[in-house]
Structures are given as structure tokens and as C-alpha cells.
Amino acid sequence: MVGNHGTYTVSIQVDPQGVTSACSCYIGKHGYCHHCEALAITFLADPSAFKSVKLTQVKDVRQLTDVRAYLDNVTLDTLLTQLKAKGITQKAFAEQIGMNTRHLAAIKSSELRNHFFNELGVTKLACVWMLEHLGKTKGKAQ
């Protein structure tokens, strides 16, 4: 969405638990801004102008185009939590991909605010790779 001070990433998600929204503007971290309101009003006025996005699970990735769909539907924080459950700490993960932990934390935090570092996609992909290949033996990558 284009606003007075730039272009913002605005999202609204409806699921059985309710409605959640977020915006990349300085007010919209939790969705309480006029950009989210404008998106909702636009949707209500013409729902056919929007497309439904089906969440892709990692088990559904079969071809190259599925990779992007999956990475767009999972947060870095979720992937890091899955790594931790397999015994791979954020520190160990960051070190193994040649990144310092502060940079990893900045990427994770920025994604949650809908601001994206260029490294986000490859960092998520590295998480997925580690989950698939190194997560089978708990603690091996520490």
C-alpha cells in the first residue's frame, strides 16, 4: 500500500481464531493503523480484487515454485524454534552459515515488523536445509 511517507506492507489474515493484521508503518506493528483499516475497507468494497493465498507446508514442496510459496508462509522465528527443538541453537545456526547472532536477531525482528532484509529468504532456506539434513541427530550441529 502506498502511503504519505512511503510504501507499506499491509496484511490481514482471517482464521478460526479471529482476524490479525500488521503493517510495516511505525504504528502498525499490531495492525492498529489507518493502512490496515484502508485495506479492510477496500476488501469489503470489492473482495474479487483480492486473491486467496493457500498456505504451503514443507511437505507440499515438490517443485521450484513451491519453495517461494513455503518460505513466504513461514516465519524465520518459527523455523528457528523448530531448529531449537532439534537441539540446534540460534547461535550455532548463525555461526554455521557465517552470520553473527546480532544480524540474525535483526533479520528475525525485522520480519516480524514486515520490514525485510535481503538475506531473509536465504536464511530461511538455510533453516529448512538444516531441519531436513542435520535435525535428524539431536545436537549434532551444535
Band of the pLDDT at 141, cuts 50, 70, 90? very low
- For residue 2, the surrounding DSSP H or E stretch is strand 2-3
Summarize pLDDT for 62-100 with one digit per residue, the tens.
Answer: 888 888 888 888 889 889 999 999 999 999 999 999 999
Rounded to 5°, the CA angle 57-59-64 comes to 85
Summarize pLDDT for 54-64 with one digit per residue, the tens.
Answer: 777 788 888 88
The pTM of this model reads 0.61
What value does the mean pLDDT of the chain take? Answer: 82
The residues near 19 (Cβ < 8 Å, ≥ 6 apart) are 12, 13
Q: Which residue has the higher pLDDT, 44 or 1?
A: 44
